[in-house]
Amino acid sequence: MGQDGTSTDVVQVQDVTRSFGDLQAVAGVSLRIAPGETYGLLGPNGAGKTTTISMIAGLLEPDSGTVQLCGEPMGPRHTKIRSRLGLVPQDLALYPDLKGRENLNYFGALQNLRGKELRARVDEVLEVVGLADRAKDPVKEYSGGMKRRLNIAAGLLHRPALLILDEPTVGVDPQSRNAILESVEALSGEGMAVLYTTHYMEEAERLCDRIGIIDSGRVQAEGTRDELIHLVGELDQVRMDGTGDLTAATDALQQVPGVQRVDPVGGGLVCAVADAPVHLAAIVTAASAHLELSDVEITRPDLEQVFLHLTGKELRD
């Protein structure tokens, strides 16, 4: 892995900035992605995700800072290196009047694939996204999910070193979404670096080896899921419903090792604890001494809570 900035990193983004007039969209973003790594870039709308992706994809020139793909400079003027990039834009980038296979033939040809190699790659990616049997149909006859899958296939044709997936599952049915996520997992397993943006936290938790949370044009935090949760100090929550002496139960729970806070909620109590499964037995024992418990529930912090903690916004804002 290249988390420390080794020469094996597929992408190296170093302190890039970009402004549009008075608006500074990106105020110094740095990130690295290693081969086989899936990096999730999460942020609320207007956080600078799209501008960052545009600079990584070579569509925009940074005002300052550098972007390197496979060790070579990346930007609007660097044409050849783009053959190592596969971009799956958020908006569908397909010709609806062309057939599925014709779309792929066209994009493959522009990626310098020819003849048998092109045909083989087209067949292969059609299988990967599950559209082999609809390849001869015009794209305008596809469902939304099928278009999304073909959109991804077009980015995979040339086996890019980096695949950028910008919210690839927006508006797709659960079946297509699952197919897309499985495809991404398979690609990552084959050694492809993936930069993934999404508004669905469960996708990020399932797919991403590391996650960067971006807001106000800066990466506010970066790491694995557990690292991020630990970083922001989020605690497990143990909720206990029951009847009895809540005050005495609170006093008893505050003596249990690991319990950092006890709050009354509704007719029960909620304990904030560092590692709930480890301390659960002691917590229930202490509470049972003063309460007749009717329900116990553990809630572990997730990325949604981390995101809210870091940005003050819901991910879907």
Partner 1 sequence: MRALLTMTAVDLRRRLRDKSVLIFSLAVPLALMTVLNLLLGGVSEGDLEPVDLAVSSDADDQLAGVVVDALASTGIVDVTVTDSDDPHADVGAGSADLGMVVPSGFTAALTSGEPAPVQFVMGDGAGLSGQVLVTVAQGVVEQLRGASVAAVAAGAAGLEPDRASQLAQQVLDAQAQVQLTQGEASSEQLSTGGMLIAGQAGLFLMFTVGFGVLGLIAEREEGTLVRLRSMPVRSSTIVAAKALTAFVLGVVATGVLLTVGSVLFDVDFGAVPAVAVLVVAAVLAATSLTFVVVRLARTAEQANVVQSIIALVLGMSGGAFFPITATGLVGTIVDLNPIAAFTRGLGITSGGGGLDAIGLPVAIMLGFAAVCLLLSRLIPNRGVAA
Q: Which of 5, 61, 64, 109 binds partner 1 (CB under 8 A)?
A: 109
Cβ closest to partner 1, residue 110 vs residue 278: 110
Taking the complex as a whole, how short is the minimal distance between the CB of residue 212 and partner 1, in angstroms?
Answer: 21
Q: How large is the angle between the packed helices 115-128 and 100-110, nearest 10 degrees? A: 130
3-state secondary structure string, the chain? CCCCCCCCCCEEEEEEEEEECCEEEEEEEEEEECCCCEEEEECCCCCCHHHHHHHHCCCCCCCEEEEEECCEECCCCCCHHHHHEEEECCCCCCCCCCEHHHHHHHHHHHCCCCHHHHHHHHHHHHHHCCCHHHCCCEHHHCCHHHHHHHHHHHHHCCCCCEEEEECCCCCCCHHHHHHHHHHHHHHHHCCCEEEEECCCHHHHHHHCCEEEEEECCEEEEEECHHHHHHHCCCCEEEEEEEEECHHHHHHHHCCCCCEEEEEEECCEEEEEECCHHHHHHHHHHHHHCCEEEEEEEEECCCHHHHHHHHHCCCCCC
Given a contact cutoff of 8 angstroms between Cβ atoms, the answer to whether 49 and 218 are in contact is no
Note whether 119 binds partner 1 by CB under 8 A: no
CA dihedral (59, 95, 196, 68) positive or negative: negative
Note whether 200 binds partner 1 by CB under 8 A: no
Q: Interface with partner 1 by CB under 8 A: which range of 5-13, 93-101, 168-176, 291-299? A: 93-101
Q: Which of 25, 42, 94, 219 binds partner 1 (CB under 8 A)?
A: 94
Note whether 171 binds partner 1 by CB under 8 A: no
Cβ closest to partner 1, residue 92 vs residue 284: 92
Given a contact cutoff of 8 angstroms between Cβ atoms, the answer to whether 270 and 237 are in contact is yes
142 to 161: interface string for partner 1, x by CB under 8 A: ------------xx------
Backbone angles phi, psi at 213, to 5 degrees: -105, 120
Note whether 87 binds partner 1 by CB under 8 A: yes
Q: Interface with partner 1 by CB under 8 A: which range of 65-73, 106-114, 238-246, 304-312? A: 106-114
Cβ closest to partner 1, residue 76 vs residue 189: 76
Q: Interface with partner 1 by CB under 8 A: which range of 56-64, 172-180, 212-220, 264-272? A: 56-64
Backbone angles phi, psi at 71, to 5 degrees: 85, 0
Q: Which of 57, 161, 194, 235 binds partner 1 (CB under 8 A)?
A: 57
Note whether 82 binds partner 1 by CB under 8 A: yes
Q: Interface with partner 1 by CB under 8 A: which range of 37-45, 75-83, 121-129, 249-257? A: 75-83
Note whether 61 binds partner 1 by CB under 8 A: no
Note whether 107 binds partner 1 by CB under 8 A: yes
Cβ closest to partner 1, residue 95 vs residue 308: 95
Cβ closest to partner 1, residue 118 vs residue 287: 118
Note whether 93 binds partner 1 by CB under 8 A: yes
**CA 290, CA 106: separation in Å to the nearest integer?**
72
14 to 43: interface string for partner 1, x by CB under 8 A: ------------------------------
Taking the complex as a whole, how short is the minimal distance between the CB of residue 81 and partner 1, in angstroms?
Answer: 8
Note whether 184 binds partner 1 by CB under 8 A: no
Using CB under 8 A, list all residues that contact partner 1: 57-59, 76, 79-83, 85, 87, 89, 91-98, 102, 106-107, 109-112, 154-155
